[in-house]
Chains A and B, each alone.
Chain A
Amino acid sequence: MTRSDVSDVIVIGAGMVGAMTAYHCAAAGLRVTVLERDAVAGGTTSACEGNILVSDKEPGPELDLALLSIRRWQELADELGADSLEYQAKGGVVVAMSDDTGAGLTAFTASQRAAGIDAQDVSSAQLREREPNLSPDARSGAYYPQDAQVQPMLATARLLRAVRDLGGTVRTGTEVTGFVERGVATSAGIVHAEHVVNAAGTWAGQVSELAGAPVPVLPRKGFILVTEPLPRTIRHKVYTAEYVANVASSDAGLETSVVVEGTKAGTVLIGASRERVGFDRSMSLPVVRKLAAQAIEVFPFLADVALLRSYLGFRPYCPDHLPVLGPDPRVPGLVHACGHEGAGIGLAAGTGHLIAQVLTGKEPDLDLTPFRPHRFEEAPA
């Protein structure tokens, strides 16, 4: 056994959550090895929008994790350089297209303020000040200065670079094929470590099965449209109030609720559909059409803008829509950091921070009980 094959921590998965976990562990002085079967940031991280949001969270454990994560992201932008991550604290704008939705949104923001979110109710006129190209049909809205965006692949690659600079190892093209005593078997031999972190994203369920400690992480398919590059026509992350209802939904059918935002490159991203259809990679034109129609409702000028491409990704969700975080009592040494659904980029910063605290024997800043891995096997209360 060579020394390079022994680490304190193995992180399975080189997506955003794996990279954040590895970075925080390495920064805490642990020897880290990241194992990735594909390429860096190749899974869901390469097929998302890079959202760092509090605006879509209702009070509860996920919001607590989101608030911790927003703080950590701000610190990381200072540590690693906001530009190098393409981190933008652009703020979020939620739009109500009817008075009924507006009333619901006002009640929602009140509950969010009580839970610590900076959620500001805005009038129709104030909305247009923030987003001049918004549809005249927008009735009212809310402004969330804490919402931010990052280029997810770039940020992941930079974090992994920092891991290597801290003495860690990143092995791509290396698939974990099984678990062994204090380590894992891979397509390139056995790697040993005290702890193994399952950060395999949408494929974390499969990894958990290999470990003999299953967690129910399932794929939720989502399309994103990308327009031709434009001058800065959309300033914030803008979405309709219906999005908030859909994020927490358990409906199996297709749901779309539009999220529109500009990027540093000038393109406009339009999300986000939600379908529970397994790992089906096929393009679904009806879904894409609906997203386009909804985006035009919010920003009518988009009707004349060319669609350049579309992509799809699989968001890892659990039946209760909470991530799975922390040590698994069923398999000593196994730690989960997965199941972040459509919020993985944002929640990754807090996740990495908490996992590193656990692995260095510290009391985590957040109570991990709601995220405990074995909760799905417990008898209902």
Chain B
Amino acid sequence: MPNSSAERNEYDVAVIGAGPAGLAAAAAAADTGVSVALVDSGPRPGGQYWRHRTGDDGTHHHDWAEFTRLRARIREVDHLAEHAVWHIEPGFTVHATGRDPVRARRLVLAPGAHDRQLPFPGWTLPGVYTAGGVQALLKGHGVLAGKRIVVAGTGPFLLAVAAGLLDAGAGVAGVFEAGTPAGFARHPLAVAGALGKLGEGAGYLRVVGRRYRTRTMVIAAHGTGELSGVTVAKVDANWQVVPGTERDVACDALAVGYGFTPQLELPLQLGCATRLDADGSLVATADDRQMSTVEGVFLAGEVCGVGGSALAVTEGLIAGRHAAGVSAGSRLLRRRRAQRRFAGALHQAFPLRRGWLDRVGADTVVCRCEEVRHRAVTAAVDDLGATDPRTVKLLARPGMGLCQGRVCGFATACVVADRLGRTLIEADLRGLAARPVAQPVTLGELAG
């Protein structure tokens, strides 16, 4: 059967994305006997989380056994690697770079997320990376981003990145967590630790040890031409700098991350409803079966709420089964409930606080592709009468460049909402997230 599906480019189920959620969905759907295509831009399955090199034995990876189990289960799946999906038409026709369109009766969208970035003075200097970018360099290429690396931002992912770097022999000059995760440990749901997740965090913490500082932020990056150091400072509960606590830390690489932004292009192309999640991210709405508000379009992983790889796998298993027309068992549903509670507790433990906005100076670049500075964003509001982020984008160009707002969209929306004296709303993010072309595609390929 798979061969004839491949010849016709027609499948019962097409899964987009081969990270934890997509792999699980493809495996669960294939187990039921339907034909499955797994379309992914990467050369190997695993996505960002299990990004690896050929011959990688999984030494430096987490849940590697889970990955190898899932990989073994997708033998009957047509893995269409190195094809980036740029558009999906209703019905469904999946357009990906470098190949003929794939038709499928049902879809599972598992596109994942990218690092959420917040601008601060110096953040565009060479040597400043996203936390995920530093980890991808290490996992995908075995490359250390620097000799003396600072890890900063908020969330448990910082610990994972720092532990990975230490494990690989890197010099880690400090790990600076803006929040107060002590509150996390006190959270009853977290203490339950049903998934061993807390144990993992504690394990990281042991490795990272005395380098870990909470309520501490990198408030500026310095260097001429490239990064030579950062200024860190203690912050209060609202991320305001405590005066007099500023100090400089020498480093040649900074890995910074403030959580994740789910990739919403494909659900928005298909008309799926969205909502604002507890962490401030725009996410697609999924029902108990992991189905979006569009019939036949299922969602798994960060796209329907940032929750980490374990939840992504569970959602993928549920989505894959339902996409294949088979119900998921109650055991999976129970596991998902527990994992979502855990994810919710994490969002509560590592919230973004508005203090970061006060450190974005008039001269700070907000959109690096188009070099739009903070003053141009606020002028669009103050002088030109913009009342939402989309209008600011059209007037001042943040998010108009190569990344199409993937990097700066969230921050731009926050800056605009704050300037207008209100909190961030779903429409703010939606106005910047709609991209009819999800990946750059050449006009020649488009023309066919």
Chain A CB within 8 A of B7 CB: no
The residues in A between 279 and 335 inclusive whose CB is less than 8 angstroms from any CB of B are 283, 285, 288-289, 292-293, 295-296, 302-311
Q: Which of B73-81, B134-142, B256-264, B388-396 contacts A (4 or more CB under 8 A)?
A: B388-396
Q: Given A154-B395, A157-B395, check contact A228 B387 (CB 8 Å).
A: no
Q: 1/0 contact trace for A120-161 toward B, CB 8 Å?
A: 000000000000000000000000000000000110011011
Contact, CB under 8 Å: A265 / B370: yes
- Closest residue of chain A to B370, judged by CB? A265
Contact, CB under 8 Å: A293 / B384: no
Contact, CB under 8 Å: B395 / A153: yes
In the bound complex, CA of A295 to CA of B448 (Å):
13
Chain A CB within 8 A of B401 CB: yes
Chain A CB within 8 A of B435 CB: yes
- Closest residue of chain B to A46, judged by CB? B394
Contact, CB under 8 Å: B443 / A305: yes
In the bound complex, CA of A283 to CA of B268 (Å):
11
Q: Given A283-B269, A310-B437, check contact A304 B444 (CB 8 Å).
A: yes
Chain B CB within 8 A of A39 CB: yes
Contact, CB under 8 Å: A308 / B385: no
Contact, CB under 8 Å: B391 / A41: yes
Interface centre among A289, A295, A308 (most CB of B within 10 A): A308
Q: Given A40-B391, A265-B370, A285-B89, check contact A161 B443 (CB 8 Å).
A: no
Contact among A40, A42, A296 for B443, CB-based, below 8 A: A296
Contact, CB under 8 Å: B436 / A292: no
Chain B residues contacting A186 (CB-CB under 8 Å) are none
The residues in B between 78 and 119 inclusive whose CB is less than 8 angstroms from any CB of A are 87, 89, 95
Q: Given A153-B395, A157-B395, A308-B402, check contact A289 B385 (CB 8 Å).
A: no
Chain A CB within 8 A of B205 CB: no
Contact, CB under 8 Å: B394 / A41: yes
Contact among B370, B387, B436 for A40, CB-based, below 8 A: B387
Chain B residues contacting A173 (CB-CB under 8 Å) are 387
In the bound complex, CA of A309 to CA of B448 (Å):
17
Chain B CB within 8 A of A229 CB: yes
Contact, CB under 8 Å: A40 / B402: no
Chain B CB within 8 A of A227 CB: yes
Contact, CB under 8 Å: A306 / B441: yes
Q: 1/0 contact trace for B270-282 toward A, CB 8 Å?
A: 0000000000000
In the bound complex, CA of A193 to CA of B380 (Å):
29
Closest chain B CB from A137 CB (angstroms): 16
In the bound complex, CA of A13 to CA of B106 (Å):
42
Chain B CB within 8 A of A172 CB: yes
Q: Given A40-B384, A289-B448, check contact A307 B443 (CB 8 Å).
A: yes
- Closest residue of chain B to A267, judged by CB? B400
Contact, CB under 8 Å: A292 / B404: no
Contact, CB under 8 Å: B401 / A307: no
Chain A CB within 8 A of B442 CB: yes
Closest chain B CB from A300 CB (angstroms): 9
Contact among B386, B404, B442 for A304, CB-based, below 8 A: B442
Chain A residues contacting B437 (CB-CB under 8 Å) are 307-310
Chain A residues contacting B380 (CB-CB under 8 Å) are 157
Chain A CB within 8 A of B440 CB: yes
Closest chain B CB from A227 CB (angstroms): 7
Q: Given A283-B87, A285-B89, check contact A42 B391 (CB 8 Å).
A: yes
Chain A residues contacting B448 (CB-CB under 8 Å) are 289, 293
Q: 1/0 contact trace for A267-279 toward B, CB 8 Å?
A: 1001000000000
The residues in B between 392 and 441 inclusive whose CB is less than 8 angstroms from any CB of A are 394-395, 397, 400-402, 404, 435-437, 440-441
The residues in A between 217 and 264 inclusive whose CB is less than 8 angstroms from any CB of B are 225, 227-229
Contact, CB under 8 Å: B387 / A172: yes
Chain A residues contacting B295 (CB-CB under 8 Å) are none
Chain A CB within 8 A of B383 CB: yes
Interface centre among B385, B395, B404, B442 (most CB of A within 10 A): B385
Contact, CB under 8 Å: B402 / A303: no
Chain B CB within 8 A of A355 CB: no
Contact among B87, B387, B402, B444 for A39, CB-based, below 8 A: B387
Contact, CB under 8 Å: B447 / A161: no
Chain B CB within 8 A of A170 CB: yes
Chain A CB within 8 A of B72 CB: no
Contact among A40, A285, A292, A309 for B385, CB-based, below 8 A: A40
Chain A CB within 8 A of B182 CB: no
Contact among A157, A289, A310 for B386, CB-based, below 8 A: A157
- Closest residue of chain B to A157, judged by CB? B384
Chain A residues contacting B390 (CB-CB under 8 Å) are 39, 42
In the bound complex, CA of A157 to CA of B393 (Å):
13
- Closest residue of chain A to B448, judged by CB? A289
Contact, CB under 8 Å: B446 / A39: no
- Closest residue of chain B to A14, judged by CB? B385
Contact, CB under 8 Å: A306 / B440: yes
Chain B residues contacting A302 (CB-CB under 8 Å) are 443-444
Chain A residues contacting B440 (CB-CB under 8 Å) are 228, 306-308
Chain A residues contacting B386 (CB-CB under 8 Å) are 39-40, 157
Chain B residues contacting A283 (CB-CB under 8 Å) are 87, 269, 436
Q: Given A229-B402, A283-B269, check contact A303 B443 (CB 8 Å).
A: yes
Q: Given A228-B402, A285-B87, check contact A172 B441 (CB 8 Å).
A: no
Contact among B383, B397, B436 for A265, CB-based, below 8 A: B397
Contact, CB under 8 Å: B447 / A296: yes
Closest chain B CB from A230 CB (angstroms): 12
In the bound complex, CA of A318 to CA of B86 (Å):
36
22 A-B pairs with CB atoms under 8 Å apart are A39-B386, A39-B387, A40-B385, A154-B395, A157-B386, A157-B395, A160-B384, A229-B401, A265-B397, A267-B400, A270-B443, A283-B436, A285-B95, A292-B444, A292-B447, A293-B448, A304-B444, A306-B443, A307-B440, A307-B441, A309-B436, A310-B436
Ranked nearest first, the 5 interchain pairs of A and B with the lowest CB-CB distance are A303-B444, A157-B384, A293-B447, A306-B440, A292-B447
